[in-house]
Structure 1
Amino acid sequence: MAQEAEYDLVVRAARAVTRSGIGPAELGITDGTIVVVNQPGSGIRGTRELDLAADETLIPGLVDSHVHVNEPGRTEWEGFASATRAAAAGGVTTIIDMPLNSIPPTTTVAALDEKRDAARDQAFVDVGFWGGAVPGNLADLRPLHEDGVFGFKCFLLHSGVDEFGFLTADELEEDLVELRKFDSLMIVHAEDSAVIEQAPEASGTGYRDFLASRPRKAENAAIAEVIDRARRTGARAHILHLSSSDALGIIAAAKRDGVQLTVETCPHYLTLLAEEIPDGATAFKCCPPIREDANRELLWQGLTDGTIDCIVSDHSPSTAELKGVDHGDFGTAWGGVASLQLGLPLIWTEARRRGIDLAQVVDWMSRRPAEVAGVQHKGRLAPGFDADFSVLAADETFRVDAHRLFHKNPVSPYQGKELVGVVRRTFLRGNEIDGQAPAGRLLRRDAIGSVATGGDRAHTTAR
């Protein structure tokens, strides 16, 4: 008599990234949750069974906590359908959407409802939401928290869009005092507006001129301010998209002192170099900017020594027209890099050149961002976690063609770059993402972590 299946799905891999590192593993999955992780030969059976090829590695689904989807309001830049397809193609199974550049921005519960309505029928991966902290919405912070946002984003200088205002240092402290009452997280775009105002104005096609308009000292000063205000209030703060390696020292000191501080950086700061950016190449423009080779090396050191906690995309696309690809003027072009689909191969290509193993890369891009953002049951191949995973051909190479990515606008600073690491398949709660039937859920954070309510499951029919 045939042995009765114990699990909905059994996955077997000669190479899997688990809490023990990289090695062989068998996963038993039921109701979308990992139940067991065994050594091969344990004899478990599944209604469905998946055996990976010899050149494939099983990795947990990545968690990208810094994605600008831009829908509703600027859906021509990106939208939930295109963004989440791109995420899945890049091995990302959970994203957290930024409160701008959608219209309206996510600064009230009513605006959050609009965002959820826009996402609900279109998400191919799970989607959570950040709230926004702007001048005048102090009273909206607790209601947004109670409605499930994962924390609050603020700027310390003009955000790039007029509808999302920036906070003064005193307003930041006032909001931190409020967030501490319910243990929420403030995530900060840390560049100092006064320093930027005193810097040379960005204009023209010269990348060096643009770089001079966003000096390191603007980041350094703003990060020091965030640390000071977090120290004084006892609130939790997170530094977004760290670009200036000069700030690593004060960040490390603050962490040693017990300040509740976490830090992220992004693929563009770890893989691209100011010295190699041609004049007029506005696809490379982002704020804070891509800096020099020596700076990049120190950022990698900050990752390996634990000063920097995680790597996320800061996927911030726009149309080709707004990106200035025709005129190449860094002063007027939109500042943002689209990399949601490419983050894993970008970082893996650079990391393996440095002797950093895949398990460490995956940890920086899955477990750590999930922990920083407070996303529960994501980012690990372990019992009790969602069965979100990807099949990675870690040694296979490809050349970037922006027109073949799922990003809505084919503008990329990585065009033509040869990368290693091909995501062959991605699974959400044990079901393969096919790019046709959206089955992602909308995540909420509450007292016990992130949950998806039944009404927030995306429809399982294609739009």
Structure 2
Amino acid sequence: MSDYDLIIRNGIIVTSDNCFKGDIGIKEGKIIEITAQAPIKDKAEKEIDAVGYHILPGLIDTHVHLNEPGRTEWEGFSTGSKSLAAGGVTTFFDMPLNSNPPTINKVGFELKQEQAHMKSVTDYRLWGGLVPENVSNLEELHHCGVIGFKAFMSPSGIDEFHHSDDVTLFKGMNEIARLGSILAVHAESTVITDQLACQKQNEGKVSAKDFCESRPIISELEAVRRVLSYAEATGCKLHIVHASSSKVVKLVTEAKQRGIDVSVETCPHYLSLTVEDFTELGPIAKCAPPLRDTEEVEFLWAAFANGEIDVIGSDHSPAPPNMKQALNGNLFRAWGGISGAQSTLSVLLEEGYWKRNIPLQRIVQTVSTNPAKRFGLFPTKGSISVGSDADLAIIHLNQRFTLKKEDLFYRHPHSPYIGKVFRGKNVTTIVKGSIVFTDG
């Protein structure tokens, strides 16, 4: 019997702080040996020759909406996890709101857990929700094993998942702090966005540009300042999701310097798409917060390069094609949400590594190591080290490809990235030592 189930030979191993050529030996789902100077002498049941390829820790996508149970026609664990695996993701965190029932109590958690366990091809964790009705349920959700809690400061768009007013936020954050957990927040000001949206539509201004102007950066800043003050008062760990602007990142950086336990996430679409793309592509590129201008994209990349952005999450938020329609040309009436879970690494390699000279180590830090550390999974996840789960993405750094509709594993294969040319392709994904994706 072999000492190893799998050996990956001659690859360029990339971690958050190093890059070297070596072999990786895997047994029973764990990395049990890494060699940098000499090859592993023993044989394995299966071997991969990774000459010319880079080996990254599997990505951890902290922000996806797979919508099952209840809205499986939007996306489900089978198609969603296959899409993630194709993009090099080995662990995802599923958001609590788009499933029906939502994950706001033990019953909702158990229903979703059952579906995820049966259907996911990758590892996963589940978010719990914070809504006005369930502050008393947070402890039972915590004991169920949620990775953390998610709240909206503005309407979520889902009738079963209400947004949290200030009192709910404060009470919930007190309880989450007591439990030693973390709160992720969609931070936009309801007052600002509602008033501007009504004003725009009353004036017949319903274009992509008008939608973006109805949800300005100041709306994010106001909400982030408010929830940071609650975090400071309650001691609750805080995670600001999908920041669309470096101005939001700066607020978080300043809060960290004051001793607030806070992290910030942005998404690939804020690093690669603009309001001009939204105008051209239509509802397929609608999201909230909305896309910003080219200058904001460059400012975000500068924050990324400086290490101020902690996490990249896809915010994969799919919907059926009939919901991604601008009725009578009104972009306000189309469902918001970008399908992008399969393209996170492609965007970061093309736009970051190749176009802006962002080191691979920095990319690994934001998509693997930081998420694992922030959410208590490190070093089991987010690391290529002896004893870690054998969660790996093997990439061909120089391979160019054009993303085609037929390449996508989503339930509904639409995406703003279709037709785009990328350089750097994930070719094999390994989850706990098992190859779940290879050769397309």
TM over 0.5, shorter chain? yes
1:116 counterpart (102, 113, 116)? 113
Cα distance in 1 between the residues matched to 2:249 and 2:58: 29
Report what 1:454 is aligned to. none
Report what 1:235 is aligned to. 236
| Structure-2 change in CA distance of 1:197 and 1:18 (3 Å) | closer
Please list, as runs of the form range in 1=range in 2, the aligned pairs for 1:326-345 lying within 5 A after superposition.
Answer: 328-345=329-346
Report what 1:281 is aligned to. 282
Report what 1:94 is aligned to. 91
Cα distance in 2 between the residues matched to 1:356 and 1:95: 24
Give secondary structure in 2 for the equivalent of 1:382: coil
Higher deviation after alignment, 395-404 or 318-327:
318-327
| Structure-2 change in CA distance of 1:96 and 1:236 (3 Å) | same
Report what 1:456 is aligned to. none
Cα distance in 1 between the residues matched to 2:241 and 2:271: 14
Cα distance in 2 between the residues matched to 1:326 and 1:419: 32
Q: Does 1:427 align with 2:430?
A: yes
> Where do 5+ consecutive residues of structure 2 fail to align?
none
Cα drift, residue 234 of structure 1: 0.9
One-letter amino acid of the structure 2 residue matched with residue 46 of structure 1: K
The structure richer in helix per residue is 2
Please list, as runs of the form range in 1=range in 2, the aligned pairs for 1:68-87 lying within 5 A after superposition.
Answer: 68-87=65-84
One-letter amino acid of the structure 2 residue matched with residue 48 of structure 1: E
Cα drift, residue 329 of structure 1: 3.0
| Structure-2 change in CA distance of 1:67 and 1:221 (3 Å) | same
Cα distance in 2 between the residues matched to 1:236 and 1:99: 18
1:130 counterpart (122, 127, 130)? 127
Cα distance in 2 between the residues matched to 1:273 and 1:36: 44
1:417 counterpart (415, 420, 425)? 420
Cα drift, residue 326 of structure 1: 7.7
Please list, as runs of the form range in 1=range in 2, the aligned pairs for 1:394-413 lying within 5 A after superposition.
Answer: 394-413=397-416
Give secondary structure in 2 for the equivalent of 1:120: helix
Cα drift, residue 359 of structure 1: 2.3
Report what 1:446 is aligned to. none
Give secondary structure in 1 for the equivalent of 2:118: coil
Report what 1:266 is aligned to. 267
CA contact (8 A) 2:390 2:430 kept: yes
CA contact (8 A) 2:16 2:369 kept: no
| Structure-2 change in CA distance of 1:20 and 1:200 (3 Å) | closer
Please list, as runs of the form range in 1=range in 2, the aligned pairs for 1:349-428 lying within 5 A after superposition.
Answer: 349-352=350-353, 353-376=355-378, 377-428=380-431
One-letter amino acid of the structure 1 residue matched with residue 98 of structure 2: N
Cα distance in 1 between the residues matched to 2:437 and 2:187: 38
Please list, as runs of the form range in 1=range in 2, the aligned pairs for 1:158-237 lying within 5 A after superposition.
Answer: 158-201=155-198, 206-237=207-238
Cα drift, residue 94 of structure 1: 0.4
CA contact (8 A) 1:280 1:327 kept: no
Cα distance in 1 between the residues matched to 2:362 and 2:328: 40
CA contact (8 A) 2:75 2:410 kept: yes
Cα distance in 1 between the residues matched to 2:17 and 2:280: 46
One-letter amino acid of the structure 2 residue matched with residue 266 of structure 1: C
Cα distance in 1 between the residues matched to 2:331 and 2:87: 29
Cα drift, residue 418 of structure 1: 0.5
* CA deviation map 1:363-385 (0-9, x unaligned): 21111122222234111111111
Higher deviation after alignment, 418-427 or 318-327:
318-327
Higher deviation after alignment, 295-304 or 10-19:
10-19
Give secondary structure in 2 for the equivalent of 1:26: strand
* CA deviation map 1:19-48 (0-9, x unaligned): 552210111212111112111424431323
Cα distance in 2 between the residues matched to 1:38 and 1:69: 38
| Structure-2 change in CA distance of 1:149 and 1:94 (3 Å) | same
Please list, as runs of the form range in 1=range in 2, the aligned pairs for 1:273-312 lying within 5 A after superposition.
Answer: 273-278=274-279, 281-312=282-313
Cα distance in 1 between the residues matched to 2:285 and 2:403: 15
Cα distance in 1 between the residues matched to 2:85 and 2:249: 32
Higher deviation after alignment, 279-288 or 236-245:
279-288
Cα drift, residue 14 of structure 1: 3.6
Cα drift, residue 304 of structure 1: 2.1
| Structure-2 change in CA distance of 1:351 and 1:19 (3 Å) | closer
CA contact (8 A) 1:282 1:329 kept: no
Report what 2:322 is aligned to. 321
Give secondary structure in 2 for the equivalent of 1:366: helix
One-letter amino acid of the structure 1 residue matched with residue 230 of structure 2: R
Cα distance in 2 between the residues matched to 1:307 and 1:8: 39
Cα drift, residue 115 of structure 1: 0.4
One-letter amino acid of the structure 2 residue matched with residue 163 of structure 1: E
Report what 1:149 is aligned to. 146
Give secondary structure in 2 for the equivalent of 1:199: helix
| Structure-2 change in CA distance of 1:89 and 1:47 (3 Å) | same
Q: Does 1:32 align with 2:29?
A: yes
Cα drift, residue 264 of structure 1: 0.3
* CA deviation map 1:123-179 (0-9, x unaligned): 100111000000021110001001100110000010011110011122211111111
Cα drift, residue 425 of structure 1: 1.2
TM norm structure 2: 0.94
Higher deviation after alignment, 122-131 or 243-252:
243-252
CA contact (8 A) 2:90 2:391 kept: yes
* CA deviation map 1:229-276 (0-9, x unaligned): 001111101100001322233211110011010000000000112234
Cα drift, residue 310 of structure 1: 1.1
Cα drift, residue 117 of structure 1: 1.6
| Structure-2 change in CA distance of 1:151 and 1:177 (3 Å) | same
Cα distance in 2 between the residues matched to 1:243 and 1:94: 24
Give secondary structure in 1 for the equivalent of 2:72: coil
Q: How many residues align?
A: 432
Cα distance in 2 between the residues matched to 1:150 and 1:36: 29
Report what 2:100 is aligned to. 103
| Structure-2 change in CA distance of 1:135 and 1:326 (3 Å) | closer
Cα distance in 2 between the residues matched to 1:329 and 1:22: 49
| Structure-2 change in CA distance of 1:67 and 1:282 (3 Å) | same
> Where do 5+ consecutive residues of structure 1 fail to align?
436-463
| Structure-2 change in CA distance of 1:364 and 1:434 (3 Å) | closer
Cα drift, residue 434 of structure 1: 5.0
CA contact (8 A) 2:342 2:408 kept: yes
Cα distance in 2 between the residues matched to 1:246 and 1:289: 15
